[in-house]
Amino acid sequence: MTRISPKNYPSFQNKHVIITGGSSGIGKATAKLLARQGANISIIARDVNKLKAARQEIETARASKEQKVFTASANASIRTEIKTVIEAAIDRLGTPDILITSVGIARPGYFGEIPIEVFEQSMAINYFGSLYSLKAVLPAMERQKKGCIVLISSGAGLIGIYGYSAYSPSKFALRGLAESIRGELQPKGIQISIVYPPNTDTPQLAEENKTKPTETKIIEGTAKTWMAEDVAQAIIEGINRKSFAITPGWEMNYLNRLHSLLSPILNWYFDRIVTRVSVRESKHLSKE
């Protein structure tokens, strides 16, 4: 991806941006990019040590030492926790101009082998964690009659991917939420965007690879893995354009526009990979 000079971005000077899941990955990369543009940043995540390290990186990236950085530890899937820390961020830095929900987990595997608790946790964190955050900031944005909400979904929120039976539905749910409330929020001056990142080189991807089925690795092997900084840049560009769907890269762009038409072709392709792996493993077992 061609990097665009920060001077080409409209200024985020003195804007307050709240980012859940902002201590690592796409969330942290976006926080640092916005800090370079003059924004005041609030990041929320569970791990206190990661929050501390992320704060130092964000403060180093600031355009000015006058910019404020607020951090708070909370589990986004617990409504009272996330509401309390978002209210604290608003008290400290003012009404948020932008909310970015980057919190999320993924544990791929074969459907029959994934514990039901993983399905419940995926929906609790990936969907309800974003919903609770949105609910917490919305009254303040409505009072000032402006704001921007960015929900980070996934390419797996556009089409179900083999091995992601716990993850994909939670990301599909975010798409449904964004599409449902877009028209309701627009007259109130509140922009909503939903992001469909491709595979991104983050700590979460490293965790996913520990349980990812062979078939899934082959399916994903045909696509480029992005850097978190490049996805963050695409998010900022999408916010500036007031885009509803933010699709980093041509693959996500086409998948977003044509997923219903492409689905039969992709399913045929995925099935070929699954069959090939199954035959290979059967031959291996027969030799033992």
> Which residues have a catalytic role annotated?
153, 167, 171
The size of the chain, in residues, is 288
What tokens does 164 get? 């992601």
Q: Is 198 helix (H, G, I), strand (E, B) or coil?
A: coil
Write the DSSP symbol of residue 100: E
Q: Give me the numbers of helices (H) and strands (E) for the chain, helices first please.
A: 10, 9
Using CB atoms within 10 A of its CB, is residue 180 exposed (0-12), middle (13-18) or buried (19+)? exposed
How far is 260 from 31, CA to CA, in rounded Å?
Answer: 33
CA distances from 76 to 29, 70, 258, 266 (A): 19, 16, 32, 33
How far is 116 from 94, CA to CA, in rounded Å?
Answer: 40
How far is 184 from 180, CA to CA, in rounded Å?
Answer: 8
105 contacts: CB under 8 Å, gap ≥ 6: 121, 122, 125, 126, 167, 204
What tokens does 173 get? 């749910």
Give helix 129-144 / helix 79-93 axis angle, nearest 10°.
30
245 contacts: CB under 8 Å, gap ≥ 6: 193, 194, 196, 256
